[in-house]
Amino acid sequence: MYKIGQSTDIHRLVKGRKLVLGGVEIANEYGLLGHSDADVLLHAIIEAIIGALGKRDIGTHFSDKDPKYEGISSLLLLEKTYEMMIDEGYRIGNIDALIMIEEPKMAPHISKMEENVARVLHTDIANINIKATRGEGLGFVGRKEGVMAQAVCLLINAE
C-alpha cells in the first residue's frame, strides 16, 4: 500500500535569527522567524509525512504553543515523525522538496540537507531530492521577506 502527502510551509525572514534549512546552518544576515528553529524545509517534509499518514498537520503534533518545542531543532521533530511513520507500518518511498528563497544560493548546501533527511528517515539518499529556486524579485520570496518550502512524499507499507 502506498500513501502520498504534500505540504507547503512559509516563514518570515528577520534579523537576529539563524538561517537553518534542512538541518544545515547557513551563514546569512537574516534567519527564519518561528517557535522552533523555523526550518521551513524540514517543516514541509514533516507535514508531508504526517499528511500521508492521515494525522492532520505539524501543529497537531508539535504545537507552537508548547514550550517544550521552543528553539528545538527540526531534525528532532523529523526524528519523532519518523517514529510515528514506523509505528504506523510505513517507510519512505521518496521525498521531493523545493525551497523558494531569493538568497543566499542553496546549491552548496543541498547535498548536506539531503544527507540529513536521509539519515534521520533511515532511507537511501537516492530517495531524497531537494532543489531550490529564486523568486526573481517577485512576491514575498523575491522581496526577501520570507522563505517557502514545498514537499511531496510517498510512503510505502513496510510489511
Greater pLDDT, 3 or 61: 3
Tell me the three state secondary structure of residue 121. coil
pLDDT band at 17 (very low <50, low <70, confident <90, very high): very high
How far is residue 79 from each of residues 2, 46, 85, measured CA to CA in Å? Answer: 21, 9, 10
User: What is the CATH class of 2-157?
Assistant: alpha beta
How far is residue 141 from each of residues 46, 147, 153, measured CA to CA in Å? Answer: 22, 6, 24
pLDDT of residue 125: 98
pLDDT in tens, 46-99: 999 999 999 998 888 888 888 888 889 999 999 999 999 999 999 999 999 999
pLDDT band at 25 (very low <50, low <70, confident <90, very high): very high
Residue extents of the structural domains in the chain: 2-157
Tell me the three state secondary structure of residue 39. coil
Contact (CB, 8 A) for 70 and 35: yes
Question: Which ranges of 55-131 does DSSP label H, i.e. alpha helix?
Answer: 58-61, 74-87, 107-120
Report, as an integer, the average pLDDT of 105-127: 98
Percentage of the chain exceeding pLDDT 90: 89
Give the mean pLDDT of the chain: 96
pLDDT of residue 123: 98
pLDDT of residue 109: 98
Retrieve residue 4's grid coordinates: 502520498
Instruction: Give 3-state DSSP helix, strand, coil % of the chain, rounded to 5.
Output: 35, 35, 35
Taking alpha carbons only, the member of 89, 81, 23 closest to residue 57 is 81
